[in-house]
Amino acid sequence: MNTPNFTVGKCGDCPIRHRAVCARCNADELVELDAIKYYRTYEAGQTVIWSGDKMGFVGSVVSGVATLTQTMEDGRTQMVGLLLPSDFVGRPGRDGAAYNVVATTDVVMCCFRKKPFEELMSKTPHIAHRLLEMTLDELDAAREWMLVLGRKTAREKIASLLSIIARRNTTPDNDSVSTVFDLPLTREAMADYLGLTLETVSRQVSALKRDGVIQLQGKRHVTVPDMTRLMEEAGDDTDGGFLI
């Protein structure tokens, strides 16, 4: 088992506390969760779980980014999703993993032993309700991603991906219209996820930079001066509010 290389405080001080599976829990429920949790770290490129493997834990991404991938019988692999901070890994009531989960950056996970977590869910409505909310949000996100892949232009696809990552790297109490983050994916991985060529990704990222929608330091450090404009570039008519 991996050993955490960071210092973690109590649940109430957790950086994802406001949007994780424990977001609705009261103090007594947090104590119960604390009794069954442990932390694991994964290095960039390390596999968290293979599709079909038995999972003895569920948990939340505390920091870092991982990918969900599906491998076909002939060996072809497709990225089907991203796991960002606060996203939940594993499914209570299901023994095996549905997808490969691979860390694309160094990842810290708050894990819960699966059987005790399932028992706690059955008697703690706050946890069960929050997990239902997160599952429905995930379903909505998957349907939205179908629109991104099927109908949006290359520029809109890039802007959509950047806006998702930007919003998840910003806390809800930060009312600034700008944000800064490190892009967790290589250009090749972005191309794979978006169904574009590497050349198209590079060209569109450069165009967004040239037009002042984003600023780049190196290839990964991204500044978004105006989130509203980025959302407009994504072809999104929402207000670009923070994900909670």
Given this chain, do its domains 11-147 and 152-234 carry the same CATH topology?
no
Any idea where the domains of the chain sit in the sequence?
Answer: 11-147, 152-234
**Residue 77 confidence (pLDDT):** 78
Q: Residue type for 164, please?
A: I
Mean pLDDT on 240-244: 39
CATH topology of domain 152-234: Arc Repressor Mutant, subunit A (1.10.10)
Give the residue with greater pLDDT, 14 vs 207: 207
Q: Say if residues 91 and 98 touch (Cβ distance below 8 Å).
A: yes
Residue 129 phi/psi, 5-degree rounding, is -70, -45
Integer Cα distance of 147 and 140 in angstroms? 11
pTM of the complete model: 0.79
Q: What's the 3-state SS for the chain? A: CCCCCCCCCCHHHCCCCCCCCCCCCCHHHHHHHHHHEEEEEECCCCEEECCCCECCEEEEEEECCEEEEEECCCCCEEEEEEECCCCEECCCCCCECCCEEEECCCEEEEEEEHHHHHHHHHHCHHHHHHHHHHHHHHHHHHHHHHHHHHHCCHHHHHHHHHHHHHHHCCCCCCCCCCEEEECCCCHHHHHHHHCCCHHHHHHHHHHHHHCCCCEEECCCEEEECCHHHHHHHCCCCCCCCCCC
List, for residues 64-119, the tens digit of each pLDDT value.
Answer: 999 998 888 887 778 888 899 999 999 888 888 989 999 999 999 999 999 999 99
Give the confidence band of 10 by pLDDT, cuts at 50, 70, 90: low
- Point out which residues pair with 114 in neighbouring strands: none
Integer Cα distance of 33 and 45 in angstroms? 29
**Residue 172 confidence (pLDDT):** 45
Residue 201 phi/psi, 5-degree rounding, is -60, -50
Integer Cα distance of 14 and 1 in angstroms? 22
Integer Cα distance of 192 and 201 in angstroms? 10
Residue 208 has pLDDT above 90, yes or no: yes
What homologous superfamily does CATH list for 11-147? Jelly Rolls (2.60.120.10)
For the chain, what's the residue count?
Answer: 244
Interior/surface letters 138-168, b for 16+ CB within 10 angstroms, e for the rest: eeeeeeebeebeeebebbbbbbbbbbbbbbb
State how far Cα 164 lies from the chain centre. 9
**Residue 119 confidence (pLDDT):** 93
Of all residues in the chain, the percent with pLDDT exceeding 70 is: 89
Q: Residue type for 117, please?
A: F
